[in-house]
Homo-oligomer: A and B are copies of this chain.
Amino acid sequence: MSYVVALDVGGTSMKGGLVTSSGEVTPFEGRPTERERGAAAVVAAIRAYVGELAGHGVSRFGEEPSGVGLAVPGIVTSSTAVYSANIGWRNVPAEDFVPGDAPARLGHDVRTGGLAESVFGAGRDAADFLFLPIGTGIAGAVVVRGEPYGGAHGWGGEIGHTPVWPSGEKCACGQVGCLETYASASAVARRFERRSGRTATAKEVVELALSGDVAAREVFDEAIEALAISLASYTLLLDPSLVVIGGGLGEAGPALFEPLRERLAARLTFREPPELRPASLGVQAGMLGAALLGWQAAGVPDAGAGWATETLLGGR
C-alpha cells in the first residue's frame, strides 16, 4: 500500500509518522531536534529520521514512500526552508531533508497544523477561519478561502506579537504589549509567579483561578481579556466564521471558552462574534498536516478529504 513519511519539526522535538492515502496513521516516537548542535546537525538529524521512517515503511508496506511532507518553523516555501531564527538554518532545499528519491514538500509548522484542522479537523466545515494554538508561545494559521495564508513573504500569522495593550508589558521579542506576553501558557505561569510568589504551571493557574485564588484569577482574567481584544481585531479585519483554539491552554475547556466567548462578544457591538471551537487534532496536527503535504508532493492533492479523525488519532 502506498504511504507518505510525515514529519513535524519543532524547536525542541520532532514527531514523525507514516500515513497511507486512506488516512491510516502509524505514529512513531518523537525525538529531540537538538538545535544546540547547529543547523547542519539538525538537517542531518531530520534526514536520518526520514530515512528511518522510510525504512519502517518499506518493511511494513513493501515499497518506498510516495512522498515526504515536513512541517518546519520559520519562513518556508513549499520547496525551501528559507530561515528559522530558532534553528538557525538558511535556504535549505527540501531535498536535503530526504535521503531517497521521494518527492518532498515543506510547510510552515503552525500553518501545516492549520491545514490539517482545515481539511479534516475542527475547521473542516469552514473556509475562512483562524487556527490559534496557545502553548509556550502563540502563533496562528490564518485560513483564507480554504487555504492557510502566510502573507507576502511567509511572515504572517504572528498574532502572538500583535499589540493588545500598546503601553503594557514588554515582551521578550522587544515589542510592547504583545498578546503572547499575557496569554501564552508560559506567560500565565510567569505572571502568576510574579504576582503571587508561587510557582505553578499554566494548567495549575487555571485550576487555582477556578477555585477562587485571587492572584490566579487576575492573571487568567488578563490572559482571557488579551485574547478577547486580539480576537476582536482579527474578527473585524478578517471576518472568520470560526476560531479553532488549540495548544496546551486550548485544552482548558469551558474555563477558557466560556469567559472568552463572553468577552469577545462584549468587544463587538455591531457584529456577531465567530464561533470558538477547540482544536480536534491536538499535538498531532502538525504531523498530520505534514502528511497532507507529502501527498501533495506525491501528486495526490486531495488526499485527506475523506480521512476520519477517529482513525487518524487512533494510534495516538
Q: How many residues of A contact B (CB 8 A)?
A: 49
B237, A157: Cβ atoms under 8 Å?
Answer: yes
A164 contacts B by Cβ under 8 Å: yes
Contact indicator B239/A173 (Cβ below 8 Å): no
**How does the 8 Å CB contact mask read for A156-192 relative to B, with 1 for contact and 0 for none?**
1111011111110000011110000000000000000
Q: How far is the CB of A226 from chain B (nearest CB, A)?
A: 9
Q: Does A238 contact B (CB under 8 A)?
A: yes
Instruction: Given A237-B157, A270-B161, answer yes or no on A152-B174 (Cβ-Cβ < 8 Å).
Output: no
Distance in Å from the Cβ of A139 to the closest Cβ of chain B? 10
Q: Which residues of B contact A149 (CB under 8 A)?
A: 144-145, 238
Q: Does A14 contact B (CB under 8 A)?
A: no
Beta-carbon contact of A153 and B241 below 8 Å: yes
- A144-B149, A174-B269, A269-B173 as given contacts; A239 in contact with B154, CB under 8 Å: yes
Whether A47 is near chain B, meaning CB under 8 Å from some CB there, is: no
A residues 126-142 touching B (CB-CB < 8 Å): 126-129, 140, 142
- Please report the C-alpha to C-alpha distance between residue A28 and residue B238 in the assembled complex, in whole angstroms: 34
Q: Does A233 contact B (CB under 8 A)?
A: yes
Which B residue's beta carbon lies closest to that of A139? B236
Q: Among the listed B127, B128, B162, B271, which residue makes an inter-chain contact with A236, where contact means beta carbons less than 8 Å apart?
A: B162
Question: Is A234's beta carbon under 8 Å from chain B?
Answer: yes
What is the minimal beta-carbon distance from A216 to any residue of chain B, in angstroms?
A: 22
**1/0 contact trace for A233-253 toward B, CB 8 Å?**
110111111100000000000
| A240 proximity list for chain B (CB < 8 A) | 151-152
Q: Which of B128, B152, B167, B274 contacts A128 (CB 8 A)?
A: B152
Give the complex CA separation of A271 and B152 in angstroms.
13
Does A267 make an interface contact (CB < 8 A)?
yes
Cα(A187)–Cα(B175), bound, Å: 27
Cβ–Cβ contact A237 & B234, under 8 A: yes
Is A61 in contact with chain B by the CB < 8 A criterion?
A: no
Chain B CB within 8 A of A278 CB: no
Taking a contact as CB atoms under 8 Å apart, the answer to whether A161 and B239 are in contact is: no
Contact between B166 and A165, CB atoms less than 8 A apart: yes
Q: A152-B241, A157-B237 are in contact. List 9 more A-B contacts (CB 8 A).
A: A126-B152, A129-B152, A144-B144, A156-B236, A162-B233, A165-B166, A174-B270, A175-B270, A233-B233
Can you spell out 30 A-B residue pairs with CB atoms less than 8 angstroms apart?
A: A126-B152, A129-B152, A140-B237, A142-B238, A144-B144, A149-B238, A150-B239, A151-B238, A151-B240, A152-B239, A152-B274, A153-B239, A155-B239, A155-B271, A156-B237, A158-B236, A158-B271, A161-B270, A162-B232, A162-B233, A162-B237, A165-B166, A166-B229, A166-B267, A173-B269, A175-B232, A175-B267, A175-B268, A237-B237, A237-B238
4 pairs of A and B residues whose beta carbons are closest in the complex? A151-B239, A174-B269, A152-B241, A156-B239
